[in-house]
Every structure is written in structure tokens, then in C-alpha cells.
Amino acid sequence: MTSNSIHPTSVIDSTARIGEGVTIGPCSVVGPNSVVGDGTIVGPSCIIGPNTRLGRRNVLHGHCAIGGDPQDKSYKGEEVFLVIGDDNHIREFVTINRGTSKGDGQTRVGHRNLFMACSHVAHDCVVGDGVILANNVLLAGHVHVEDGATLSGAVAVQQFVTIGRMAYVGGHASVKKDFPPFMKEDDPSQPRGVINFIGLQRGGFSDDQIKALDEAFRTVYVRSDTLAEGIARVTASAPLSPEVALFIGSLQRSHAARDGRAREPR
């Protein structure tokens, strides 16, 4: 059994559960009914709010605050949660809020993500695995960020937007509509840019997979006059590869939505 290193100035609620090999720095707080998984490192002056579940080997740097109350006027103290997986790095001054009863009562974060300094994840968000949120990225409530996506510095994402798998969003962008998987774009207000070639290569995608995605992208955005026409032309060439099917499915759902946000309530 590996012993813990808990600084005497830290405050651990009596109902919190602390795993093995955990380090908690000076002046940090672990709230009621929270769990800190094995091997997790909590830096100085961190706050882990109530009903927060941290997996294994997470690293929380100084002054981050996770599991705080949702910043939603409808919140009236209901029991809601933040669930975080394993091997995440949460840098200085990051904030991640718990969910609300308007969602499913949880904010969820997967594994192996990097949250750079001053980024914010609001209530009811879902962040997948291997995601990077650069400095000052702001996710509004109910945003989904799928596996492998990268959001560059100071990106702001509107509520109910979905950022697709392996997407790359350039710095200072304001994302108001669903962002398709596998795409790279510096300014989402302009026509879509290119396939995220570098991200796909780093993610282990084969040349054939990347070529198929690039062909689908060009059919939709370069060779067609409208999005609907482009989607129809790609789907007419079925069977589609799994990656292209995911890409086209995302476009279909967003195109059918009133404001380009497929999950927004009507």
C-alpha cells in the first residue's frame, strides 16, 4: 500500500474518499462526498467541490477549482456531479463546474485530457478522451467535445455546440454552430478550411482513411453549390468508410437543426 502525502493545511471533508498514493498540497480543499483516485496529485490552493469524482493519476496544478456549483440561475442546490476519468492534467486557474438537473445532472470528462491555464468547462459539458483545451478556452453549458479535438487559445464555444472528433479550432474563434469531426478551421464564421491532416496523421489514421475524408470534404465544400447537395453526392457513393460516415452524419444532424446545433432543445 502506497502512503499519501497530505499537507496539514489542507482541508479534507470527513465524507471525502482519498485513494492510495495521493498528494494534496497546502491550503487545498476537498469537498463533501468527493473521491480523489489513486496516484492523483493536487497542487497548492486547489478546490475540489462536492460530489466530484476524480479517477487515477490526475494532476491538478495550483489554484484550479473543479466541481464548483453550476453557473446557472436555475440551479437551486440540487445534488449534481462532476465525473473525471484518469490521467488528466488540469493547469492553473482552470474551472470545471458540476452539472444541472436540466442536463443529466453530470459534467463528464474522460481520460488523458489537457486543460491549459484559465480554461473553463461549464455545467453539463461532456469532454471525451485526448482533448486539448488551450489557455483561456471557454466552453458554455451543454457543450460536447469529442475525442482528440484541439481548441486553441481563447476559443469560445456557445451552449449546445458539438466539437467533432479530431477537429482543430484555431485561436480566438467564436464557435456558434456544431463543428464537424476531422476538420481544421481558424475562423468558423468563414467557409470550412481543410481536413486536419496533421492531427489525423498523429492520431494513427492511415493514408487511405485520410484520402477518403479529404475526398468527402472536397465534394461537400468545393464541388457542390450547397451543403445539402454535397451531402447527397457523398452519400450516393455508399458504402462509406466509418470515418466518412461519421463526418457526413455530423453534417446532416447540424444541417437539420434550426441554428446548426443538433442537440439544442426545441
Number of other CB atoms surrounding residue 223 within 10 Å: 11
Q: Which of 37, 110, 111, 124 is catalytic?
A: 124
What is the pLDDT averaged over residues 123-139?
98
Is 249 catalytic? The answer is no
Reported confidence tier of residue 170, pLDDT bands at 50, 70, 90: very high
pLDDT of 191 reads: 46
Residue type, 219: T
How far is 201 from 100, CA to CA, in rounded Å? 37
pLDDT of 190 reads: 57
User: Which string of DSSP letters, residue by residue, matches 82-110?
Assistant: EEE-SS-EE-TT-EEE---TTTTSEEEE-
> Do 244 and 212 meet the contact criterion of CB atoms below 8 Å apart?
yes
Is 124 catalytic? The answer is yes
Range of lowest pLDDT (57-66, 82-91, 192-201): 192-201
Reported confidence tier of residue 119, pLDDT bands at 50, 70, 90: very high
What is the pLDDT averaged over residues 227-240?
92
How far is 40 from 97, CA to CA, in rounded Å? 19
What is the pLDDT averaged over residues 236-261?
93
What is the pLDDT averaged over residues 154-173?
96
For residue 163, the SS3 value is strand
Average pLDDT, the chain: 95
Q: What is the architecture, at CATH level 2, of domain 197-256?
A: Up-down Bundle (1.20)
Q: Which of 63, 120, 123, 142 is catalytic?
A: 123
Is 21 catalytic? The answer is no
Q: pLDDT at residue 187 above 80?
A: no
Best CATH choice for the domain 1-142 from the list 2.160.10.10, 3.40.1280.10, 2.40.50.220, 3.40.710.10 = 2.160.10.10
Query: Whose CA is closest to 247, among 205, 212, 201, 204?
Result: 212
How far is 6 from 20, CA to CA, in rounded Å? 11
In the chain, CATH 2.160.10.10 sits at 1-142
pLDDT of 64 reads: 98
Query: Whose CA is closest to 101, among 126, 68, 69, 124?
Result: 124
Q: Which of 141, 164, 199, 230 is catalytic?
A: 141
Residue 47 φ/ψ region, left for φ over 0, alpha for ψ in the -120 to 50 degree band, beta for the rest: beta
pTM: 0.96
> What Rg do the C-alpha atoms of the chain give, in angstroms?
20
In the chain, CATH 1.20.1180 sits at 197-256
